[in-house]
Amino acid sequence: MNSRVPEYRIQVSQLRPGVFIRLEKTSWFEHPFLFSSFKVKDDEQIALLRKLGIREVICIPEKSDVLPLRPDEKPEAETEPESELSQEAIDHLWEVKKERARRLRAKKQHIAECEERFTLCIKTFNNIIKNMLGGNIASVEDALGFVNRMSGLFLEDRESTLHLMNVMSPSENAYSHPMNVAILSMMVGREAGLSKEEMTALGMGALFHDIGKAQIPKKLLKKRGTLTRPEQEMLNRHAEFGAAIVSQMENFPKAATRVVAQHHERMDGSGFPLGLKGDSINRLAHIVAIADTYDNHCNQPEPTDSLTPYLALSYMFGQQKQFFNVELLALFIRCLGVYPPGTVVELSNGSIGMVMSVNPKNQLNPSVVLYDEDVPKKEALIVDLADEPDLRVEKSIRLSRLPQEILEYLSPRAKITYFIE
C-alpha cells in the first residue's frame, strides 16, 4: 500500500481481511488477540471485534494489503459473521492468550533469577579486583576460580543465551565494562574452539585488561571532551601499567598478561603501546580488542554519544575493519547475532521493542521487550519471535530517533550490560 497515506480512524464495519489495524483504548489484557496491532486475517476476527463492543480502530495503510471499505460501501458477504462465531472459538482464543500470559510470567521470573546471579557476579568481581590492587596474594586464585566458573558455562553449554541486563546501579557501572568484555570475549573464544586453558587466559586477560587505569589520575579518567596530547599519552600507558601490575602476580597466566599488554594494538600497526601488526599480536588480545571496542561504542560516558549494538557492529565492520583480525571480527558479529541484545527495533506489526536475548540457534528471532503505553513498564510484554511466524524484525532504530517516553520505557538505564547463561 502507499506508505504516504497517514493512519486514520475507521468503523469496524469498514474492515475486511488484509487491513492492518491498531486497537485503541483497549488494554492488551482486555482482548483475546495476541497483539494490539495486527493485520485482519478473516471475517471471524472482524466479528470478534464487534462482539467485544469495539466500534472503531486505527487503520495503518502502510502495512495493509487492501484499504478498508468506504463508509457507504457494503461488504461482499451477505451473512452476519457474528452468528457463525461460536463461544467455543472465542474461549479458545482466550485460552491461547492465557497460556501466553503464563509463559510471559515464567520468562520474567527466569530473567529476574538471571539478574540476581549477574548482580552476584558483579559483586564478586568488585571484591576480587580491590583485593588484587591491594596486594592480596590469594586474590589471583579467587580470580582464576571466578573465570573458570564462567568458562565452564561456555564450554559445557554450546547453546548458552546472551542476555541483556538491566540491574546496574550507578555505583557498579565501573565494573560493567570489564564484565562485558570478558563475557563477549569468551563467547567468541568458545566459537573459535579455544581449549580450557586458553579460555582461562582469555577470561583473565579480558577481566583485567584495564587494571592499569588504577595508576592513571582519576581526574584524567573522568575528563570529558578532547584530551591534550600529554593527557592522551598518559592514558595510553594504562596497557603498559596493567601488564606490569599483573606480571608481578604469581599464578597470573602469562598469556593473559600479553592480553593486558596488547589489547590496544591494532592489525594495521596503528595501536599502542608498541605499534604491533598482524600476527605479531597475541590471538587472545585480538579477541579482547574487538570486544573492548564494541563495548566502548555501546557505552560512551555521554549516553547520547553511544551507538546501538546493531550500529556498533555495522560501524566496526564498515569503518574499522582494518584495525582487527577480520576472521575474528566476523566470528564476533556472528556470535552476537543480526540484532544484538540492546538493539531497539521496529517489528512488522509496527510495535517498537528492545532485543533482550539472542539464542545462537535462532539469531533472526530474538526475544524482544515491547513498548506499550497501555501496559505498565514493570509488566512490559516480552515476545519470542521464534514463536510468532507472522512477526519479524523490520529494522533497527537509532536511539536519537526515539520519543523520550519510549526510550525511558525500554531502557531504564544508559549502560548496556550482558550476561551469559
Percent with pLDDT over 90 in the chain? 40
Domain ranges in the chain are: 8-85, 97-420
Task: Give SS3 for 92.
Answer: helix
Alpha carbon distance 287, 169 (integer Å): 28
- CATH superfamily label, 97-420: Hypothetical protein af1432 (1.10.3210.10)
Alpha carbon distance 337, 359 (integer Å): 9
Kind and range of the H or E run holding 57:
strand 56-59
Task: Give SS3 for 117.
Answer: helix
pLDDT tens digits, 58-68: 999 988 999 99
DSSP 242-309: HHHHHHTSTT--HHHHHHHHHTT--TTS--SSS---GGGS-HHHHHHHHHHHHHHHHS-SSGGGPPPH
Task: Give SS3 for 8.
Answer: strand
CA nearest to 113, candidates 158, 163, 64: 163
pLDDT tens digits, 174-232: 447 898 899 999 989 988 999 999 999 999 999 999 999 999 999 999 888 889 999 99
Alpha carbon distance 272, 94 (integer Å): 61
Percent with pLDDT over 70 in the chain? 90
Task: State which amino acid sits at residue 132.
Answer: M
